Structure 1
Amino acid sequence: MAEQHAPASNYGMSYIFGKTFVHDLDAMAKFYEEVLGVVPNNRHQDEMLGRKIDEITYRPAYPGGPSLTLIKYLDSTGPATGESVQGFMSQDLEATVERALAAGGSVAEPIREMPEFGIRVAFILDPEGHVNEVIQMLS
Structure 2
Amino acid sequence: MSDTATAPAPQVTTAPSARFGFMKFVVRDLDAMRSFYERAFGLVVSQTIDLPDIMELVLRRPGEETGFSLILYWNKGGREVSVGTGHGPLGLFVRDVDAAYAHAVSQGATPHREPWDAGAMRVAFVLDPEGRELELISMKR
By the TM > 0.5 criterion, same fold? yes
| 95 and 82 in structure 1: CA distance in 2 versus 1, 3 angstrom threshold | farther
1:107 aligns with 2:115: no
1:68 aligns with 2:70: yes
Local SS of the residue matching 1:27? helix
- Structure 2 distance, partners of 1:114, 1:100, is 20
1:11 aligns with 2:12: no
Equivalenced residue count is 125
**Identity percentage of aligned residues:** 30
Larger Rg: 2
Partner residue of 1:3? none
Partner residue of 2:56? 55
Q: Deviations over 1:35-85 (max 9, x none)?
A: 1111210222226xxxx2111101257675311111112221323355552
Partner residue of 1:4? none
Q: Tell me if structure 2 keeps the 8 A contact 1:40–1:57.
A: yes
| 20 and 73 in structure 1: CA distance in 2 versus 1, 3 angstrom threshold | same
TM normalised by structure 2 equals: 0.77
| RMSD, aligned α-carbons | 2.2
Partner residue of 1:44? 49
1:79 aligns with 2:82: yes
| 109 and 46 in structure 1: CA distance in 2 versus 1, 3 angstrom threshold | same
Where structure 2 has 5 or more consecutive residues not aligned to the other structure, the ranges are: 1-13
Where structure 1 has 5 or more consecutive residues not aligned to the other structure, the ranges are: 1-8
